[in-house]
A and B are shown apart, each in its own frame.
Chain A
């Protein structure tokens, strides 16, 4: 049996190790100078690489760190007063009241300060819509057609976006970059470590599954229908057209998947590869997670039915300003809602946004996530959570802060399929850790130190040691406190 399995369509995590090894092994002498990489010709056994743009990220060197005397939120609902956290080899190795400092450990006395898992924003456009927001930088939306599942946002990310640095100063240790919401299918999203790097590959979160961005409602019909009729197709023009557009694409994806299944079992001529359908078939095989921009409750209900029709699952609805109206249904279905604290009113589908959306969703037992969709909001998602938390409290939804923190780290990690390695301070997980100057739900609190895989990547007390992007070099304000 030759060819690829259905299971490796799209994200193809299974094949990653093989292809990395293949690339590293394929060296030969090139025409000029020393040995250069020679591009390998692919064989019938492996007709194409399943992970052609692999992560090159590796944790940066770090000494053991022992944080003591802190108020620690473990990210899974527990709070430890006067606690200690030990980081070794880039991992959380111990969490508790009394932990002895291993030899060579840097001991940080965090008396009066708080320690939490790093914040994970599962809705960002940093790099794809970077600063400065000039025309040449609009790489977040392939508006040329309503179905562009073939594009991958990582191919439009500029790693020199100063927004990554600002987000790091706000305690963001990982983030999902999504394509924009003009299209029914916007393309693949990517999960990044929030580390400075020369390449996007240097930021890619190792082994994170790919995601697919989809969009409901006003955006697709405005962009392709009545608003910008000059684009090809002219459809969708209505919410009916939106649904027909998704369904038509899923039918093609199912057919494509069948062709590959047949080929894998029976052999014969290899089906022609289709980038768009690679991604959609990856969703149908469960390897690619669906993140769908959807505001209205009634539309989310339609989408949940559609996912049942085609046999996939929506991992998270994004923006979801009306999730509070169907929080019970979302809990039953098992989709996360990725929400703002208080955005509302900027368009009709955002008209019913309320500040209690997040606590109402959490209170119904559904998965609640605080997201930014903003290069400003991403810098203080802890404050966005705090506002929502307080507004919930005011109507009698009293969620302890140590549970509310799940909105910021663990739940977004789950929605990105990386909760086995990050999102909480469980021993064994990556040491993605923030030391806050105080209660992180207070407006006066700032991130003092941000560790990513145990390496200190932001230190407020030593601004001269922090990252400055290429773009900011030689410009007014270079290296300033931002």
Chain B
């Protein structure tokens, strides 16, 4: 029943994408709101003109003109708090891979949004799994600084809404040491000098002057982060490296940090909480894969939350094509002690907060119409989406993968080759 409705509505949506002024009622046996309203049994979410206008229980009136979608679960659209989705088509093919630039003279000023390709097939794959917004970061290649990251919707449209330069992404710890020349002292020397360059911009660069480590363009690009006006995402794993980062955060309270990775963050959880530094983590991490993650445990997420640290759960193992597995990873965090509601927040509310995405990540009156209807508990291995709305528009639930699947569903070539099957 649900699928019929969506098939009809998504066809309409394709015709008039971005210009929908429709009303939808998404009805769920369980509606997880991400707000104080908690989970509503037999809840109803009304979306009109791109926004959520009503969230309530079974008695909520459904407007006559509304297209109705019934589902087992309804949640806000998920937000991947760290990915490379949309900037690489095939990782191993450099010509399709815009994540990093080892031969570029620039670093901080590299703007990942310049590499965003809404036709990237991974976007469809991500969207149909219920992820409606993606935070996308470049990868570092020449020094500590990967460059400027962005936030995008997952419509795959040429009109994709991008929030460019939403954050600066950089690497410290073992990774940073390698990037900066071979040691942690080299990484710290580079970071301190870069911050000085940026704070001295433009003065130091006037009249042909040079920075210690940054070119003029990169110093300019770092200026807002160095002055606390832009979020800095720092990849760092060990307790020791986290403490070093927190020393910097304490010495310059203006700087705004979020940690990416943080495999040993549970060991310094109280300090992270006190400094209000959120951690974007992959809750699968439980192996001493390197000497800066010896104490990795799948209980990292639950221990951090218990200490009052804000967390977002992401897939750091495959952040381009399988960012969608954030639900599986969050489910495993629940199996390792994390409260289910907290796990859901780590995929919605908290990413929105970290990146200042007001109006996203919750089902609340006035929020953006990013809504997902599921056929089961969204964190379960066996659940799938039945409908995905972005800005109130029902989305196409096909991808290149579903077309391949449908072509090869039966291997009957008795009449014509399978190439003639157009799903």
Residue numbers of A with Cβ under 8 A of B are 131-134, 162-163, 166, 218, 324-328, 342-348, 351-356, 360, 364, 375-376, 379-380, 383, 386-387, 389-391, 393-395, 441-446, 471-472, 475-477, 480-482
CA distance in complex: A218, B90 (Å): 13
| B382 partner residues in chain A, CB cutoff 8 A | 386-387, 389-390, 393, 441-442
**A482 B286 Cβ-Cβ under 8 A:** yes
| B332 partner residues in chain A, CB cutoff 8 A | 380, 383, 443
**A442 B90 Cβ-Cβ under 8 A:** no
**B290 A134 Cβ-Cβ under 8 A:** yes
Q: Pick the contact of B335 from A134, A443, A475 — CB < 8 Å?
A: A443
Q: Considering the complex, which residues of chain B in the window 384-423 have a beta carbon less than 8 Å from any beta carbon of chain A?
A: 384, 401-402, 404-405, 408-409, 411
| A162 partner residues in chain B, CB cutoff 8 A | 287-288
Q: Pick the contact of B91 from A131, A325, A345, A391 — CB < 8 Å?
A: A345
**A346 B318 Cβ-Cβ under 8 A:** yes
Q: Pick the contact of A383 from B294, B328, B384, B411 — CB < 8 Å?
A: B328
The reply to whether the CB of B334 lies closer than 8 angstroms to some CB of chain A is yes
With CB as the reference atom, state the residue of chain A lying closest to B327: A443
Q: Pick the contact of B384 from A324, A343, A394 — CB < 8 Å?
A: A394
Q: Considering the complex, which residues of chain B in the window 252-306 have a beta carbon less than 8 Å from any beta carbon of chain A?
A: 264, 267, 284, 286-291, 294-299
**Smallest CB separation, A12 vs chain B (Å):** 36
Q: Pick the contact of B409 from A344, A379, A395 — CB < 8 Å?
A: A395
* Given A132-B288, A342-B322, A354-B405: A386 and B381 interface contact (C-beta under 8 Å): yes
| A163 partner residues in chain B, CB cutoff 8 A | 287
CA distance in complex: A348, B90 (Å): 6
Q: Pick the contact of A352 from B287, B322, B404 — CB < 8 Å?
A: B404
**A482 B384 Cβ-Cβ under 8 A:** no
| A443 partner residues in chain B, CB cutoff 8 A | 328, 331-332, 334-335, 379-381
CA distance in complex: A344, B318 (Å): 10
| B64 partner residues in chain A, CB cutoff 8 A | none
**Smallest CB separation, A316 vs chain B (Å):** 20
* Given A345-B121, A375-B287: A395 and B296 interface contact (C-beta under 8 Å): no
**B411 A348 Cβ-Cβ under 8 A:** no
The reply to whether the CB of B320 lies closer than 8 angstroms to some CB of chain A is yes
| A391 partner residues in chain B, CB cutoff 8 A | 384
CA distance in complex: A163, B285 (Å): 12
**A476 B264 Cβ-Cβ under 8 A:** yes
The reply to whether the CB of B122 lies closer than 8 angstroms to some CB of chain A is yes
CA distance in complex: A8, B379 (Å): 52
Q: Considering the complex, which residues of chain B in the window 321-346 have a beta carbon less than 8 Å from any beta carbon of chain A?
A: 321-322, 325, 328, 331-332, 334-336
Question: How many A-B contacts are there with CB distance less than 8 Å?
Answer: 139
With CB as the reference atom, state the residue of chain B lying closest to A446: B335
| A132 partner residues in chain B, CB cutoff 8 A | 288-291, 294
| B328 partner residues in chain A, CB cutoff 8 A | 383, 387, 443
* Given A327-B411, A347-B90: A390 and B383 interface contact (C-beta under 8 Å): yes
* Given A348-B93, A360-B409: A383 and B381 interface contact (C-beta under 8 Å): yes
| B325 partner residues in chain A, CB cutoff 8 A | 342
CA distance in complex: A40, B90 (Å): 55
| A351 partner residues in chain B, CB cutoff 8 A | 90
Q: Pick the contact of B317 from A134, A376, A481 — CB < 8 Å?
A: A376
Residue numbers of B with Cβ under 8 A of A are 89-93, 121-122, 239, 264, 267, 284, 286-291, 294-299, 317-318, 320-322, 325, 328, 331-332, 334-336, 379-384, 401-402, 404-405, 408-409, 411
Can you identify 25 A-B contacts, CB atoms within 8 angstroms? A131-B289, A132-B289, A325-B408, A327-B411, A344-B321, A344-B322, A344-B401, A345-B321, A346-B318, A348-B90, A348-B93, A354-B401, A354-B402, A375-B287, A376-B317, A386-B381, A387-B381, A441-B382, A443-B328, A443-B379, A444-B331, A475-B295, A476-B267, A477-B294, A481-B297
**Smallest CB separation, B406 vs chain A (Å):** 8
CA distance in complex: A364, B411 (Å): 9
**A347 B405 Cβ-Cβ under 8 A:** no
| B335 partner residues in chain A, CB cutoff 8 A | 443-446
With CB as the reference atom, state the residue of chain A lying closest to B325: A342
| B409 partner residues in chain A, CB cutoff 8 A | 360, 395
* Given A380-B332, A442-B381: A480 and B295 interface contact (C-beta under 8 Å): yes
| B380 partner residues in chain A, CB cutoff 8 A | 442-443
**A324 B287 Cβ-Cβ under 8 A:** no
| B287 partner residues in chain A, CB cutoff 8 A | 131, 162-163, 166, 375-376, 482
**Smallest CB separation, B93 vs chain A (Å):** 6
Chain A to chain B: the 4 pairs with minimum beta-carbon distance, closest first: A477-B295, A443-B331, A390-B382, A347-B92
Q: A346-B320, A360-B405, A379-B286 are in contact. List 11 more A-B contacts (CB 8 A).
A: A132-B289, A134-B291, A347-B91, A383-B332, A475-B295, A476-B264, A476-B295, A477-B294, A480-B295, A480-B299, A482-B287
**Smallest CB separation, B408 vs chain A (Å):** 5
**Smallest CB separation, B92 vs chain A (Å):** 4
| B383 partner residues in chain A, CB cutoff 8 A | 390
CA distance in complex: A482, B332 (Å): 12
**Smallest CB separation, A9 vs chain B (Å):** 38
| A390 partner residues in chain B, CB cutoff 8 A | 381-384
**B381 A441 Cβ-Cβ under 8 A:** yes
Which has the most chain B C-beta neighbours within 10 Å: A364, A386, A443? A443
* Given A347-B90, A443-B379, A444-B331: A356 and B405 interface contact (C-beta under 8 Å): yes
**Smallest CB separation, B228 vs chain A (Å):** 32
CA distance in complex: A364, B412 (Å): 12
CA distance in complex: A192, B122 (Å): 37
| B331 partner residues in chain A, CB cutoff 8 A | 443-444
| A481 partner residues in chain B, CB cutoff 8 A | 297-299, 336
**Smallest CB separation, B120 vs chain A (Å):** 10
CA distance in complex: A327, B297 (Å): 39
**B90 A166 Cβ-Cβ under 8 A:** no
**Smallest CB separation, A475 vs chain B (Å):** 5
With CB as the reference atom, state the residue of chain A lying closest to B403: A354
Q: Pick the contact of B122 from A345, A444, A446 — CB < 8 Å?
A: A345
**Smallest CB separation, A400 vs chain B (Å):** 14
With CB as the reference atom, state the residue of chain A lying closest to B333: A443
CA distance in complex: A480, B206 (Å): 55
**Smallest CB separation, A249 vs chain B (Å):** 26
CA distance in complex: A163, B287 (Å): 7
**A346 B90 Cβ-Cβ under 8 A:** yes
| B92 partner residues in chain A, CB cutoff 8 A | 218, 346-348
* Given A342-B322, A364-B411: A166 and B121 interface contact (C-beta under 8 Å): no
**Smallest CB separation, B289 vs chain A (Å):** 5
